[in-house]
Structure 1
Amino acid sequence: MRIGEFKNDQAGARYRAVYEQTLADLWPGPRTALDIPTSFGTTRVYRTGPPTGEPIVLLPGSGGNALMWHRYVEVLARHRPVLAVDTIGEPGASVQTTPLADGRDGAAWLNELLAALEVTAGHAVGCSYGGWLALNHQIHRPGRIASLTLVDSAGFADPGRRFYAWMIAGGLAAMAPRQLRPGLARLVGNSAILESGLMGLVRVSMGFRRALPPARVLSDEELRSLRVPALFLLGERSALHDSREVAERLGRLVPSARAEIVPGTGHALPTDRPALVAERILETAGR
């Protein structure tokens, strides 16, 4: 098993320079950067918002980091402390030293992180792969999270041709001239490519070798073990799974869960409907 790391020192230096500039340009208001040691490596967390209260913990999707939540931080921090995480093994400011073999390891990493941050009843928000990690944590290491908001979470279908075609089309569209991107975003169904402030970071992340375990489909038994209130926000046209099938399965297996299919959205739900997603996060956390 490998760890996530940059291909060489030059790729790492290029990435860090763009990362720091992007952080300075996009992050709203004050923040405290924390580097938390875990048995899987050092995890970077940005803390903002009020000094007390149970925090909202933000976990990004695959290939992303805390900066994907930059549009959310200010509104969420008006109500609760916010902990925005650079997931171990993803391109960002975290440094992985030990491989993660599976979802249990992902749960162990997140539990160590929450324990070090003294989170005892936090509100986890996970997008795509981050949702899968949050679900595995609740399945294998429950006790530190009081609610879940999962934004088109992975873990309900193996990525197929449709998903990989969506990713490739989005990547190609992101390299087009800026004036062409709005039309291409509509064509390929990926509003994330309109995040112009993050595009430079996406480009230099190509120098990073990601080595995290695939988001294995969760079993019925695992889903039945979920006990905390959970909101599953699903993109109506998600390229990752059939959202109606996911909603029906959750309705059968998870009494504590509510599934909401968001019309006119896809897997890029956080950029398709940011105001709605922020509102649902706060509702689930009890503001």
Structure 2
Amino acid sequence: MPVSEFRNDQARERFFALYDDTVARLWPSSSADSDVTTGFGTTRVHRLGSGDRTPFVLLPGSGGPALMWHAHVRRLAGSRPVIAIDPVGEPGPSVQTRAIESGADWSAWLDEVLAGLGVPRCHLVGTSYGGWVALCHALHSPQTVASLALVDPGGFGKVSAKFVAWMIAGGLTSFTPRPVRHALAGPLRNVTLRDDDVMPLVKASFGFRRRHILPTPLTDDDLGRITAPTLMVFGAHSQLYNAREVAARVTERMPHAVTELIPEASHDVVLWNPDQLADRIVTFAAETPAPA
């Protein structure tokens, strides 16, 4: 299986010109950035906040660098240290050198990143594809996970045609003039289309060939084996799945999980109300009991 990469040097240069500009405008200047070498490639991490509390570790969704958390990191870092990760194989500063072919591979990669940072235990926060990676890590390396906070995570069935159509529609709309893009954000249920600060970078990311596997569905047995306290926030209109059915399944199969549905939101729920979501994640982590 080939690794992800930019289509050509021009696509890479265009992306990083916009990436650097977006970071300068939106990301906290206090961020301490470094690279961690793993068996799957070099991984860029961004550390914010201070203190010795168990940190948040942030995993973005498919196609997005850690920068997608720009609206959340300040509130999160106000409560405990934050480590935002640019996964290998996604558009961003990390460089993939080996294919990731399973959820176990993703967990092995994350284990190497956390070990390289000297982080034995963390509160994992993930959305969409990153939420599935977090679930896989909780399955394969439970001792490292203090809690999970997942926003419309993958891993609950096959990727639907509805979701693929939504992704394609959003991608095409991102190239339309601003008034059209803003007007279509409502009917498409995609608030990202109104985020003018990041839209140039979103368009530049189409110059990247992403070659990751699709999330493999978690079985009922898998869910039952996840013992970490878990918060799952769903958009009631999620294009990824029937959110109410998934929430009911999680409640039934995961004894330590809490589910919440945002009535107005879809799969865009991570950006629906960033301040409110960050506050909820902070509160949930604070309520997590310390290990015995």
TM-score (norm 2): 0.95
Residue 186 of structure 2: SS of its match in structure 1?
Answer: helix
Query: How far apart are 1:166 and its partner, in Å?
Result: 1.1
Q: Specify the alignment match of 2:92 in structure 1.
A: 92
Distance 2:226 2:19 in 1: 36
Residue 57 of structure 2: SS of its match in structure 1?
Answer: strand
Amino acid at match of 2:266: G
Q: Which runs of 5+ in 1 are unaligned?
A: none
Q: Specify the alignment match of 1:111 in structure 2.
A: 111
Amino acid at match of 2:277: V
Q: Please say if 1:56 is aligned against 2:56.
A: yes
Please show how residues 12-91 of structure 1 align to structure 2 within 5 Å. 12-91=12-91
* Contact 1:131–1:154 (Cα < 8 Å) also in 2: yes
CA deviation map 1:119-155 (0-9, x unaligned): 2221110000000000000101221110000000000
Residue 71 of structure 1: SS of its match in structure 2?
Answer: coil
Q: Please say if 1:212 is aligned against 2:233.
A: no
CA deviation map 1:161-190 (0-9, x unaligned): 211111122122222222333321111000
| Residues 167-176 or 225-234, more deviating | 167-176
Tell me the C-alpha RMSD between the 2 structures.
Answer: 1.2
Amino acid at match of 1:76: L
Please show how residues 91-240 of structure 1 align to structure 2 within 5 Å. 91-240=91-240
TM-score (norm 1): 0.97
Distance 1:142 1:104 in 2: 12
Q: Please say if 1:242 is aligned against 2:242.
A: yes
Amino acid at match of 2:71: R
Amino acid at match of 1:23: V
Runs of 4+ in 1 over 4 A off after TM superposition: none
* Contact 2:104–2:136 (Cα < 8 Å) also in 1: yes
* Contact 2:75–2:279 (Cα < 8 Å) also in 1: no
* Contact 1:148–1:284 (Cα < 8 Å) also in 2: no
* Contact 1:129–1:153 (Cα < 8 Å) also in 2: yes
Residue 54 of structure 1: SS of its match in structure 2?
Answer: coil
Query: How far apart are 1:51 and its partner, in Å?
Result: 4.2
* Contact 2:174–2:203 (Cα < 8 Å) also in 1: no
Query: How far apart are 1:265 and its partner, in Å?
Result: 0.6
CA deviation map 1:51-72 (0-9, x unaligned): 4321111100000011100011
Distance 2:118 2:244 in 1: 37
Aligned length: 287
Distance 1:138 1:272 in 2: 26
| Residues 74-83 or 177-186, more deviating | 177-186
Distance 1:106 1:150 in 2: 16
Distance 2:51 2:44 in 1: 18
Amino acid at match of 2:52: T
| Residues 19-28 or 100-109, more deviating | 19-28
Query: How far apart are 1:198 and its partner, in Å?
Result: 1.2
| Residues 7-16 or 123-132, more deviating | 7-16
* Contact 1:54–1:121 (Cα < 8 Å) also in 2: yes
Query: How far apart are 1:281 and its partner, in Å?
Result: 0.9
Query: How far apart are 1:11 and its partner, in Å?
Result: 1.7
Distance 1:98 1:144 in 2: 24
* Contact 2:166–2:239 (Cα < 8 Å) also in 1: yes
Q: Specify the alignment match of 2:254 in structure 1.
A: 254
Distance 1:84 1:152 in 2: 18
Query: How far apart are 1:158 and its partner, in Å?
Result: 1.1
Residue 173 of structure 2: SS of its match in structure 1?
Answer: helix
* Contact 1:60–1:129 (Cα < 8 Å) also in 2: yes
Distance 2:37 2:253 in 1: 36
Amino acid at match of 1:257: A
CA deviation map 1:49-94 (0-9, x unaligned): 1143211111000000111000111111111111111111100000
How many percent identity over aligned positions?
46
Distance 2:10 2:172 in 1: 25
| Residues 25-34 or 60-69, more deviating | 25-34
Distance 2:193 2:157 in 1: 24
Distance 1:125 1:4 in 2: 23
Amino acid at match of 2:260: E
* Contact 1:103–1:213 (Cα < 8 Å) also in 2: no
Residue 110 of structure 2: SS of its match in structure 1?
Answer: helix
CA deviation map 1:1-43 (0-9, x unaligned): 0111112222222222211111111113411111011110000
